[in-house]
Amino acid sequence: MSRSSSKPDRPARAYTARVRTGLVRVLALALLALAGAGLGGIALLTPAAAQFENPFALRPPGAVPQPSRSAPNWRPPPTFFGIPLGNPNPPPPPIEQPVRRAPPPEPEGIVYSTAAEATQGKKNPPSRFVLVVGDRYGRQIAEGLADAYVSERNSPAVVAITEDTSGFMPRPVDWLSRLPGAIDAGKPDVTVLALGLDDLEPIRDGDSEALPLSDRWAELYGRRMDEVLLTARANNRRVVVVGLAPVQSAAQSADYERLNEILRAHAARVGAVYVSVWDGFVDEEGKYMGSGPAVDGQRRRLRQADGARFTRAGARKLAFFVQKDLTRLLAEPTPETAPTADGSVPLSLTDGPRGAAALVGGPVLPARPVTVPGLPALPPLPTLPVPAVANGEPPKVDPVKVLVDGTPLPAQRGRTDDFSWPPKPPPEKAPPKPAEAAAVPAPAPALPTGAAP
């Protein structure tokens, strides 16, 4: 009986299992549908979360940005039965940062120790020379000048004779005794003096000392500077004095600025050219500038870490100010300049042997005929008489006494500063030569009164 009663129950149990499996599948599909609908709603409420949305969620077609069809290489976005695939809002491409290129390197010129070294072994040796005499400051000026002239044709050679710890004062280096030998070795057309970095020290004055930049110190320092500059001008009349540049220390910069005023005044006193470089190394407010525009227009570091020395670009900018006056001086004729085709010799502002000799009563060069293009030659201009002393020679004037001690120049006869009394008689005219007298026609005899001409 038990076996026969259990047979009808097997189909019922199989049917029940199939029903349960179907219900489970329906519930699973319903849960998946609900989950998809929920994620789609969240995506609609929060567009920023679209990057993490369900790819099977439905979105309104208007919310998906579409590129212009006229754009190059346009393609429709990929979809799956109307559902967009991937991220419809891709992030913008990264912005490329401009690559900062390093400025080109500065050219490096050659600084020679003598003029002979500058011409040795060269097919076309330089014919002009610039001598730089100074301390470590002068050495960097020489390097900057060499860099400035390295790319120029027919440029002068730069000769440097420097001592790092030196100045106008006689210790530790006495430039007053070394200058003639330095100028003889450099054979310069222009001499550049760059001294003063280490000169702000007390000066011995008898049993006491004169403190730096005091009135007594300025007087003693000025006398020494005059001696050095006059020695340089005696051996090479074209002399350039370079003023000091500001440094990082504000107190020391203020002292250098006062020292520059002394350098400027005494350079003008002896007829030297003063070059100021101060404005090239300060900002708009007049403060120290370690980096700034270089000569090539690039922004470079101009000063080294110690705040006093210069970089290669800084030395080039330092020499830029000196080069302007050097170009002008080198373009002026020298006293040995050959006369031009019309027989005249050009006269420059710094030409002392002719103009200055006449000014102090010295001998004047013989007059030359005056010629004008297209017109016949005019007779030479007369030469002014030169005052003579008892021995018949013109008075000699010591330029040191005139420029340093203020000794007045001797007055020329007939000039406004000739206050001699009684007035000196005018010079007697020499009788004409026989040839000149024959060339002058005799006056016609006077006609009697009433006679016809």
User: Based on the domain organization, do 28 and 128 belong to the same domain?
Assistant: no
What are the residues facing 299 on neighbouring strands?
293
From the list 107, 135, 259, 108, the residue with the least C-alpha distance to 193 is 135
**Residue 266 lies inside a defined structural domain of this protein:** yes
User: Based on the domain organization, do 163 and 27 belong to the same domain?
Assistant: no
User: Based on the domain organization, do 126 and 52 belong to the same domain?
Assistant: no
Spatial contact of 166 and 135, defined as CB atoms under 8 Å apart: yes
**Residue 361 lies inside a defined structural domain of this protein:** no
Would you state the structure tokens that stand for residue 86, as one six-digit string? 């991937």
Check residue 416 and give its pLDDT.
72
- Which of these three, 43, 62, 81, is where a domain ends? 62
**Residue 153 lies inside a defined structural domain of this protein:** yes
**Residue 146 lies inside a defined structural domain of this protein:** yes
- Which of these three, 296, 331, 366, is where a domain ends? 331
> How wide is the angle at C-alpha 77 spanned by C-alphas 74 and 80, nearest 5°?
155
Angstrom CA distances, 35 to 30, 32, 42, 45, 378, stand at: 9, 5, 11, 16, 118
Tell the burial category of 220 from Cβ atoms under 10 Å away from its Cβ (0-12, 13-18, 19+): middle
Buried b / exposed e across 35-49, counting CB within 10 Å, b at 16+? eeeebbeebeeeeee
Domain count, the chain: 2
User: Based on the domain organization, do 146 and 58 belong to the same domain?
Assistant: no
**Can you say whether the dihedral through the CA atoms of 49, 50, 51, 57 is positive or negative?**
positive
User: Based on the domain organization, do 307 and 240 belong to the same domain?
Assistant: yes
User: Based on the domain organization, do 128 and 271 belong to the same domain?
Assistant: yes
Angstrom CA distances, 284 to 151, 384, 420, stand at: 31, 54, 57
User: Based on the domain organization, do 21 and 140 belong to the same domain?
Assistant: no
User: Based on the domain organization, do 57 and 150 belong to the same domain?
Assistant: no
User: Based on the domain organization, do 201 and 296 belong to the same domain?
Assistant: yes
Per-residue pLDDT of the chain (453 residues), as tens digits, is 445 444 556 666 776 777 777 777 778 777 777 766 655 555 444 554 445 555 555 555 555 565 565 555 666 666 766 666 666 666 777 777 777 666 666 667 889 999 999 999 888 889 899 999 999 999 999 999 999 888 777 889 999 999 999 999 988 899 999 999 999 999 999 999 999 999 999 999 888 999 999 999 999 999 999 999 999 998 878 999 999 999 999 999 999 999 999 999 999 988 899 999 999 999 999 999 999 999 888 889 999 999 999 999 999 999 999 999 999 998 887 644 444 444 444 444 444 444 444 444 444 444 444 444 444 554 554 444 444 444 445 556 666 666 666 677 777 666 777 776 766 665 566 666 665 555 555 555 554 554 444
Q: Is 301 helix (H, G, I), strand (E, B) or coil?
A: strand
What are the residues facing 204 on neighbouring strands?
209
For tokens 């006093």, the residue is 308
CATH number for 301: 3.40.50.1110
From the list 319, 239, 329, the residue with the least C-alpha distance to 281 is 319
Half-sphere exposure of 184 (CA within 13 A, CB side): 6
d(CA 341, CA 66): 85
Q: Is 338 helix (H, G, I), strand (E, B) or coil?
A: coil
**Residue 251 lies inside a defined structural domain of this protein:** yes
Check residue 10 and give its pLDDT.
67
> What residue type is 169 in one-letter code?
M
User: Based on the domain organization, do 55 and 128 belong to the same domain?
Assistant: no
Q: Is 209 helix (H, G, I), strand (E, B) or coil?
A: strand
Size of the chain, expressed as the number of residues it contains: 453
What are the residues facing 190 on neighbouring strands?
130
Instruction: Report CA Rg, the chain.
Output: 47
Would you state the structure tokens that stand for residue 121, as one six-digit string? 């072994």
Would you state the structure tokens that stand for residue 374, as one six-digit string? 């297209």
Tell the burial category of 445 from Cβ atoms under 10 Å away from its Cβ (0-12, 13-18, 19+): exposed
Would you state the structure tokens that stand for residue 429, as one six-digit string? 């005219």
The 10 Å Cβ neighbour count of residue 161 is 22
Which domain does 296 fall in, by range?
Answer: 115-331
Phi, then psi, of 257 in degrees rounded to 5: -65, -40
**Residue 281 lies inside a defined structural domain of this protein:** yes
d(CA 288, CA 307): 9
Alpha helices, DSSP H, located in 211-362:
215-235, 250-269, 312-331, 357-359
Check residue 72 and give its pLDDT.
58
What are the residues facing 80 on neighbouring strands?
83
**Residue 249 lies inside a defined structural domain of this protein:** yes
User: Based on the domain organization, do 47 and 128 belong to the same domain?
Assistant: no
Q: Which residues contact 373 (CB under 8 A, 6 or more apart)?
A: none
- Which of these three, 298, 331, 364, is where a domain ends? 331
d(CA 88, CA 65): 7
With residue 142 as reference, give the H or E element that holds it.
helix 136-149
Write the DSSP symbol of residue 61: G
d(CA 422, CA 413): 12
Q: What angle, 0 to 180 degrees and rounded to 10, lies between the N-to-C axes of helices 215-235 and 250-269? A: 50
d(CA 159, CA 185): 9
From the list 262, 264, 261, 280, the residue with the least C-alpha distance to 272 is 264
**Residue 167 lies inside a defined structural domain of this protein:** yes
